[in-house]
Amino acid sequence: MWHKISWRLLKHELRRGELTIMAAALVLAVCAVLSLSMFSERLQAGLMERSAEFLAADRVLRSRGGEIPNEWLQRADEEGVASARRITFNSMAFANGDMALVDVKAVTDGYPLRGHLEIAEEPFTQGVVADGLPASGETWVQGSLFQQLGLALGDSLEVGDMTFIVTQVLSHEPDSGFSVFTDSPTVLIHNDDLAATGLIQPGSRVNYNYLFAGEPQALQRFESWLRPQLDPVTQRWQNIQDGDSPLSAALTRAEQFMLLASLLGVVLAATAVAVAAQRYAQRNYDAVAVMKTLGGRTRLIARIFSLHLFLLTAASVALGVLLGIILQAVVSWYVSAQLGYDLPAAGNGPYLLAIGTGLLCAVMFSLYPLLRLMKVPPLRVLRRELTASGLSRWLHWALAGGTVFLLMVIYSGSMILSFALFIGGILAMLILLGISRLFIRASRQAGMQAGSSWRLAMAGMQRRSRENSLQMLSFSVAVMLFLLVLALRHELLEDWRGQLPDDAPNYFVVNVASHQVEPMQAMFERESIRATQLYPIIPGRLIAINGTPVRDEVTKEERDDSEYREGFGRELQLTWQRDLPAENTIRAGRWFEPGEAGVSVESQVAERINIGLGDELSFRVGGNEFTVPVTNIRDVDWNTMQPNFFMIFSPELIAEMPATYIASFYLAPDRRPELYQLFRDFPQASLIDVEDILQQVRDVINHVSLAITFVMVLVIAAGGLVLIAQVQASLEERQQELVILRTLGAKSKLLTQAVSYEFIVLGALAGLIATLAMEVSIYVLQTQVFNMPATLHWRFWVLGPLLGAGVVALLGWSVCWRMLRQSTGQLIRKLS
């Protein structure tokens, strides 16, 4: 029987505002969380898949200490992880009576595990995807070697003891690498031919790279098994998010941003649920009192209203899921079309997260109002002022706070971050509450000086100061979150785009001989090619720090490691500069004085091998050894497509040593066919095409911008719902006031103005407070979370109050509009 009563009440309730707002907020939260997490999971998986192509695998084990035990590969196989081996070393190659230093790459079947090789008939032309690897006795070589050795397809190329037939131009290798110092053209051969070259001898400088690919769980299992066994000096386990790719920073920031923004959206939606639930409960106080008076038992009445909540939640969650699936399908379809490949499917995680969030918000934020509703005494039928008693407000705050904290933990996955956000949020709320009260008091005083509708508006604000300051708080939070997301989106995109403008260098030229520096600069100028300066490169090794020798990469003799310090374990590309390069900033110390001998060390390297200012570093360059003090520690932005260096010397030390030169430059894609012609006069120089890497990073940025815009829409919608819920909540009291004022003869125009002014002032103040709060939050986020420089947003100081006033006034006015158009008689009847 009770469910019939419940259903009847619900039918009518649905036509009123509160339940619709609650339903809309829940639908929005579920739909947004589902579509966003699904989309982000798919995008992430898609990007990882694409990014894996840069490694030619999902994970790479780099070993400088020789081959790894066979048992490791067997283990990978057992775990269902595919593997392949790539061995690279430098060697001389001979053809047509000429020779060149090449990078020999011998690979096993299955290579590349991710991405693909592309081959072409002509150097520097668009290739086609290769099917398989070079056959035994054949080789595929990079275009620049054709240029250097005057090769043609079908020519012979000698490498070590073996002669290969060049059968294809290798136009694209997925793992050509981010390091621009792979300065020699690649000669790709099959691993089966490696032994016949006779080039692998004890002591040879050979890089063994083991490629692995498989399902994430299988990789995870293999990784946890393998990691403890790795030698930290000679072996390095690498994946795309390890921080040395230009993608990783963008990906990490985007992920953090989306997480944070969707959490904010959910909290806003939950606030809307709470406000609407409160209002819904209050409106049913009379109904509950009457039911109790007429003999209804509390348990029965609780069932009647719980059923509303249950049906509302179930329907909203279901609708949210449905809309979420449709929305993300549309977005994914669009993104896939833009990307040119299908995004991988998402797992069950997003469904669990979305449904869980919806249920949590619905139950936890409406529980307290519902409990209060059940506490309404029957005596209210005679004493109208009675409301629920015996239920502490602390319970409300505990439930709401606990839920928000739980959501934070779920979304951030970090207890510490959640705790910091939570405490910060509470403090911010208290401060905002204080400020709003102050503002309301101040505007009341200001309003006293003004005309009658202003005075009425300000008096209204003052009278409802408690409700209004809470209302203003939620207006402020809604506007603040909106501004925050807007500003952050702008900052993030600007930051990324700033690093990679459309004309960011897309080629590196390396191995430029010193006598070719001037002709090349002249060529750049003549051809209007924007290039960086040509930096000298001198290969050298760090051999000691403060007199203590560093460990070298190949250890042929037994020695006690404790006598050695950690070093690079490999040859370094050293350079010298008179001035600090543009993309570098000094973190500690100072730039070289003229005539001073010193070295500038990149900050991450300094940290890794524990070098500080004033330390004495010893280097071996060519046959010379020398020792210099560290003059400064330098931050380098590795995400820019510029030549960057770990060690920069003052000119005095190595300027006279033989060097090759490097530069990066931008060549518009439509000028690509000119490359061969442009560099014909520089046969020793090698070109490295990084357009692919750039394109990939731009792809990430574009898709992340899309996702961010999507999140912004969510936050705006959720904020809008909070505002509507709040305005609706204050409607009844306004109604009473309006009746009184109307009865006393106030004209409609005056009342409309008073209501509008009240909302304008509330909105503008909320906007101002929001801007202030936004600046503080963004400062914290930029400096603590996103590792970006902090910025001020002057435009928002105008935009915030205007936006607040505009939106709040519009919403308030549209909700009150119908009320203002009713006759006094209608209003009185409604109130009675």
Partner 1 sequence: MSLIEAKSISRNVATTAGELQILSTLSVAIEAGEAVAIVGASGSGKSTLLSLLAGLDLPSTGEIYIDNVKLNDLDEEQRAILRGEKIGFIFQSFLLIQSLTALENVMLPAELAGTKKPEEQARELLGKVGLGERLTHYPNQLSGGEQQRVAIARAFIGKPQILFADEPTGNLDSKTGARVEELLFELNREFGTTLIMVTHDEKLAQRCDRILRIEDGRILEQAHVA
* In the complex, minimum distance from the CB of residue 802 to partner 1, in angstroms, rounded to a whole number: 40
Q: How far is the CB of 298 from partner 1 (least distance, A)?
A: 6
- The phi, psi pair for 587, rounded to 5°, reads -90, -40
Examine residue 416 and tell whether it contacts partner 1 (CB under 8 A): no
Site for partner 1 in 4-33 (CB under 8 A): 4-5, 8-9, 11-13
Do 298 and 292 touch, CB atoms closer than 8 A?
Answer: yes
Rounded Cα–Cα distance for residues 129 and 113 (Å): 14
8 A C-beta contact, residue 632 and residue 590: yes
162-172/138-142 β-pairing = parallel
| 470 interacts with partner 1 by CB under 8 A | no
Rounded to the nearest whole angstrom, what is the least distance from the CB of residue 829 to partner 1 in the complex?
Answer: 7
Interaxial angle between packed helices 748-780 and 465-499, expressed in degrees from 0 to 180 and rounded to the nearest 10:
50
With b for 16 or more beta-carbon neighbours within 10 A and e for fewer, the 697-716 pattern comes to bbbbbebbbbbbebbbebbb
Enumerate residues 629-668 that contact partner 1 by CB under 8 A. Answer: none
For residue 766, CA distances in Å to 127, 477, 763, 801, 804 come to 59, 8, 5, 7, 6
3-state SS record for 392-444: CHHHHHHHHHHHHHHHHHHHHCCHHHHHHHHHHHHHHHHHHHHHHHHHHHHHH
Measured CA to CA, the distance from residue 353 to residue 810 in angstroms comes to 34
Q: Is residue 288 classed as helix, strand or coil in its secondary structure?
A: helix
- Taking the complex as a whole, the smallest distance from the CB of residue 309 to partner 1 amounts, in Å, to 15
Please tell me the distance from the alpha carbon of residue 201 to that of residue 195, in angstroms, as a whole number. Answer: 10
Give 379 or 423: the residue with its C-beta nearer to partner 1: 379
The region of 148-156, 287-295, 582-590, 681-689 touching partner 1 under the rule CB under 8 A is 287-295
Q: Which is nearer to partner 1, 120 or 370 (CB)?
A: 370
CA 782 to chain centre: 12
Among 291, 327, 688, 739, binds partner 1 (CB under 8 A): 291
What gap in Å lies between CA 794 and CA 66, rounded to an integer?
Answer: 58
Give the 3-state secondary structure percentages of the chain, helix then strand then coil, rounded to 5.
Answer: 55, 15, 25
Tokens 């607040």 correspond to 804
The contacts of residue 39 (CB under 8 Å, 6+ apart) are 328, 331, 332, 335, 707, 710
Dig out the tokens for 142 from the structure.
């990079």
Q: Which is nearer to partner 1, 382 or 416 (CB)?
A: 382
If the CB atoms of residues 110 and 377 are measured against partner 1, the closer one turns out to be 377
* From 311, 322, 381, 588, residue interacting with partner 1 (rule: CB under 8 A): 381
Interface with partner 1, residue 374, by CB under 8 A: no
Query: 299 or 747, CB closer to partner 1?
Result: 299
Alpha-carbon distance 647 to 604, whole Å?
A: 12
Tell me the number of residues near partner 1 by CB under 8 A.
Answer: 33
- Both tokens assigned to 508: 């590196």
348 vs 389, beta carbon nearer partner 1: 389
CB of 308 to partner 1, least distance (A): 11
- Specify the stretch interacting with partner 1 by CB under 8 A; choose among 206-214, 216-224, 285-293, 412-420: 285-293
Out of 71, 228, 294, 593, which residue is the one contacting partner 1 (CB under 8 A)? Answer: 294
Which residue's CB is nearer to partner 1, number 128 or number 300?
Answer: 300
CB of residue 290 to partner 1, shortest distance in Å? 5
CA 710, CA 555: separation in Å to the nearest integer? 55
Comparison of 371 and 493: residue with beta carbon closer to partner 1:
371
Of the candidates 71, 203, 224, 382, which one interacts with partner 1 according to CB under 8 A? 382
Asked if 744 interacts with partner 1 (CB under 8 A), we say no
Handedness of CA 242, 187, 123, 120 (dihedral sign): negative
Three-state DSSP class for residue 624: strand
Q: How far is the CB of 776 from partner 1 (least distance, A)?
A: 41
Residue showing tokens 């690897």: 133
Cα(531)–Cα(667) distance, integer angstroms: 9
Q: Which member of 109, 121, 161, 286 binds partner 1 (CB under 8 A)? A: 286
Nearer to partner 1 by Cβ, of 389 and 528: the residue is 389
> Which CB, 21 or 206, lies closer to partner 1?
21
Interaction pattern, residues 295-314, with partner 1; x per rule: CB under 8 A: xxxxxx--------------
The DSSP secondary structure of 497-513, one letter per residue, reads: HHHS-TT---EEEEEEE
Q: Which of 252, 293, 521, 822 binds partner 1 (CB under 8 A)?
A: 293
Q: What is the closest distance, in whole angstroms, from the C-beta atom of residue 287 to partner 1 in the complex?
A: 5
Round to whole Å and give the CA distance between 474 and 432.
10
- Binding span for partner 1 by CB under 8 A among 216-224, 360-368, 522-530, 824-832: 824-832
Minimum CB separation of residue 821 from partner 1 in Å reads: 17
Instruction: Pull the structure tokens for residue 800.
Output: 């915030």
**Strands 647-649 and 572-576, how do they pair?**
parallel
When the beta carbons of 205 and 830 are compared against partner 1, the nearer one is 830
Q: Which of 345, 379, 395, 668 binds partner 1 (CB under 8 A)?
A: 379
When binding is defined by CB under 8 A, the residue of 279, 292, 372, 742 that contacts partner 1 is: 292
C-beta of 377: minimal distance to partner 1 in Å?
8
CB 300, min distance to partner 1, A:
7
17: which residues sit within 8 A by CB, 6+ positions away?
A: 276, 279, 724, 728
- Closest CB to partner 1 among residues 297, 608: 297
Q: Which C-beta is closer to partner 1: that of 297 or that of 747? A: 297
* Burial of residue 429, with CB atoms counted within 10 A of its CB: 0-12 exposed, 13-18 middle, 19 or more buried: middle
Query: Is 326 a binder of partner 1 (CB under 8 A)?
Result: no
* Distance separating alpha carbons of residues 158 and 164, to the nearest angstrom: 6
Of 390 and 595, CB closest to partner 1: 390
The distance of closest approach from Cβ of residue 410 to partner 1 in the complex, given in angstroms and rounded to an integer, is 36
Q: Which stretch, 30-38, 293-301, 448-456, 724-732, contacts partner 1 (CB under 8 A)?
A: 293-301
Integer Cα distance of 172 and 593 in angstroms:
45
Residue 829 touching partner 1 (CB under 8 A): yes
The span from the CA of 89 to the CA of 582, in Å, is 33
Determine the Cα–Cα distance for residues 320 and 30; give it in Å rounded to an integer. 5
The least distance separating partner 1 from the CB of residue 8, rounded to whole angstroms, comes to: 5
Q: Which is nearer to partner 1, 82 or 302 (CB)?
A: 302
C-alpha angle 553/243/348, rounded to 5°? 125
CB 379, min distance to partner 1, A:
5
| 414/736 with CB nearer partner 1 | 736
By CB under 8 A, is residue 378 in contact with partner 1? yes
Q: Judged by CB under 8 A, does residue 823 bind partner 1?
A: no
- Residues 73, 83: Cα–Cα separation, whole Å: 7
CB of 303 to partner 1, least distance (A): 11
Region binding partner 1 by CB under 8 A among candidate stretches 264-272, 373-381, 502-510, 692-700:
373-381
Query: Does the protein bind partner 1 through residue 821 (CB under 8 A)?
Result: no
Alpha helices in 284-375 (DSSP H): 285-293, 298-339, 349-374
824 makes contact with partner 1 (CB under 8 A): no
Binding site for partner 1 (CB under 8 A): 1-2, 4-5, 8-9, 11-13, 286-287, 289-300, 377-379, 381-384, 829-830, 832
